[in-house]
Structure 1
């Protein structure tokens, strides 16, 4: 209501014609159970920053976004406002407006003035927004994510390159500490036919509280178009202090002797109209002077083959491994999902309605870590599978996005 009222007030005070209201969103919903008749319990390895998601999501989640162009000026620039509401609710839990069971949030609420001739087609923005998010779909891993509550100048074209700057105090709705962060990006380096390089620097100021430190991180990412009918992305990341969040604000108690680096490689393919998929590999090393060094390795693949124009066979294999004090933790997961896709056979075509069966196995070190760090989770001995080192889920899920 407040969002609509603000938009109406602007309509009454500025001379412009009515503009279209754009509606976009995302939805995943379903139900599932374990092979021993508990509510579905999902498999995630302690210390890994993501999990393979097909047949392994234990929540209902939705995003509803409204974008209103308020004015189109004579110079071609456009003033707009954007708002998004999100809903998250765990399987088997009633929706509440606080706590761990379910949440309703406003992850985006910002204004943007885009296509400005004075910025060579760039834009200015202010508010809370999803900003320059890079993710791997099959594991839902946002490895380079500059989403922020702040303001910035985006994609200013100079000499064939695009320059962006963002000033923010908070990465996301769940960040507890406010940290002044500055992000610089330069994109558009044409490295080879179909290939483009982007560079980014994040600097995190030292907070005023005691025992806090400044930090920084850098990212270089190469995107290759027309790769097996899809595209390939390779990202190299390094950070120190709070910059060890590598795309997020990390722990401000860490000084510059704490370092992290990461290599991300993944690609999509659609080699025929009916055969597509995605592959990923991640390597991350965290160096800590207190001896708690950790290495995370993740490898996974999701192929999809359409038997007909509307029916696909989808599978996913994923393995996570974390070398940490206490032993090497391992988790392997496999899913098979017959899928109905009424709008066509492509890998990215949605909506999809899936029946799935997921099997996972893990080792004793993974269970010990889960007992300590995630009691009650699927891998812990107090979770749905008890002291077993394996388990399975089956269920149905719908996934849909639209713009």
Structure 2
């Protein structure tokens, strides 16, 4: 509350002290909310395979979630650069629990609060920023998987143009809500490589400094991403990542106790399409290989897709099928999840049109190795023998959900 009050006071004072304050205010946000339960009468429990870093989200989200963002331009300088501040409130609460500001099931926080000086001639249109910011968030929508994400508390230079390329740099100390301790991290990106008509390449390197504890290590990672427009009527994205030590977080700060014997590789491929105004979707393939000392190696493969077909301008039928497999000590874990969702969208028939109001039915099945791992690592979860589905290795949920984003 003190932080929010201080931000409001700073905004108010800016109108008094800045002589040419701009008036542009941008309000944007995201919300998903609903209610659901298991088909056998218990509470809804979502399906995610232990060791998989994401889950297929349609009809498989067990929380209320909201982001409310406000951006205010404060001042336009004589050279055309613009000083702005931005803040975002985040609210999260699991289904079936009383909303709380803190505790085991829910929280509210300011997940963005930063200042930015943008459109700077000295940076050829780039910007300087400082604070807590969502930054270069690359994700796969259907699984909500942020595979390359430089969001953090820090400062940086954003997309300084030199020639045909765009250069970015970030120094940060915290890039994850649960991260402890604070760790210095530096990210350097170069984008704008025109590889072919409609194709663009971006590359990046991340260096994670060794924190002060005696059992900690430094680490690093590299990434390359190619985005191809007008590919079979859509957009195709291919990303390759590699990291060592704490760099095995591949887009995040990983475990600082890992040394350079710990290595991770990841390949990400996904394709968005809107073949006709009424038929669209997204498919993905993710493969990650983790090498760890002590026989804790792990391989994760995820393959899935979602498609949407609109029968009218406002009513569409959405289906999603996803398969996750994790090879790990104790056996190969497997999970298959399917959802069908009749959906009403007043915004139109497109795959990305929001808001959407969905009724959904979700069915999932998993093998014995998955149940054994869930019982050991995530007792009480949907796949565990102590969860809502007991010793069964299949289950289903029904519910209703609204999803909306706006800019």
TM interval, shorter chain, is: over 0.9
**Among 290, 298, 301, which residue is 1:297 paired with?**
301
Shift of 1:17: 3.9
Q: Residues 71-126 of structure 1, C-alpha deviation per residue, up to 9 Å, x if partnerless?
A: 11221111000000000000000111222211001100000000000000000000
Distance across 2 between alignment mates of 1:133 and 1:363: 33
Shift of 1:159: 1.2
Shift of 1:26: 0.2
Q: Does 1:169 align with 2:179?
A: no
Distance across 2 between alignment mates of 1:281 and 1:350: 25
Shift of 1:172: 2.5
Question: Any idea what SS the aligned residue of 2:248 has?
Answer: helix
Distance across 2 between alignment mates of 1:134 and 1:24: 19
Distance across 1 between alignment mates of 2:115 and 2:162: 24
Structure 2: state its 5+ residue gaps: none
Aligned to 1:152: 156
List aligned pairs for 1:314-393, cutoff 5 A. 314-393=318-397
Q: Does 1:221 align with 2:225?
A: yes
**Among 66, 70, 77, which residue is 1:73 paired with?**
77
Distance across 2 between alignment mates of 1:74 and 1:289: 58
Aligned to 1:49: 53
Question: Any idea what SS the aligned residue of 2:252 has?
Answer: coil
**Among 194, 215, 221, which residue is 2:198 paired with?**
194
Shift of 1:66: 0.4
Shift of 1:180: 0.3
Q: Is the 8 A contact 1:187 1:199 kept in 2?
A: yes
TM (norm. structure 1) is 0.99
Distance across 1 between alignment mates of 2:88 and 2:350: 28
Q: Residues 240-265 of structure 1, C-alpha deviation per residue, up to 9 Å, x if partnerless?
A: 00000000000000000100000000
List aligned pairs for 1:4-403, cutoff 5 A. 4-403=8-407
Distance across 2 between alignment mates of 1:231 and 1:99: 41
Distance across 2 between alignment mates of 1:350 and 1:18: 30
Question: Any idea what SS the aligned residue of 2:15 has?
Answer: helix
TM (norm. structure 2) is 0.98
Q: Residues 162-194 of structure 1, C-alpha deviation per residue, up to 9 Å, x if partnerless?
A: 000000000022212211000000000000000
Q: Is the 8 A contact 1:238 1:244 kept in 2?
A: yes
Distance across 1 between alignment mates of 2:340 and 2:40: 19
Q: Is the 8 A contact 1:241 1:254 kept in 2?
A: yes
Q: Is the 8 A contact 2:22 2:76 kept in 1?
A: no
Distance across 2 between alignment mates of 1:103 and 1:241: 31
Q: Is the 8 A contact 1:296 1:321 kept in 2?
A: yes
Q: Is the 8 A contact 1:149 1:172 kept in 2?
A: no
Question: Any idea what SS the aligned residue of 1:243 has?
Answer: helix
Shift of 1:8: 1.1
Question: Any idea what SS the aligned residue of 1:376 has?
Answer: coil
Runs of 4+ in 1 over 3 A off after TM superposition: none
Shift of 1:317: 0.1
Q: Is the 8 A contact 1:148 1:171 kept in 2?
A: yes
Number of corresponding residues: 403
Shift of 1:18: 3.9
Shift of 1:226: 1.4
CA gap of 1:345–1:178, structure 2 versus 1, over 3 A, is: same
Q: Is the 8 A contact 2:21 2:73 kept in 1?
A: no
CA root-mean-square deviation:
0.7
Shift of 1:4: 1.9
Structure 1: state its 5+ residue gaps: none
Q: Residues 221-274 of structure 1, C-alpha deviation per residue, up to 9 Å, x if partnerless?
A: 000011233211000000000000000000000000100000000010001000
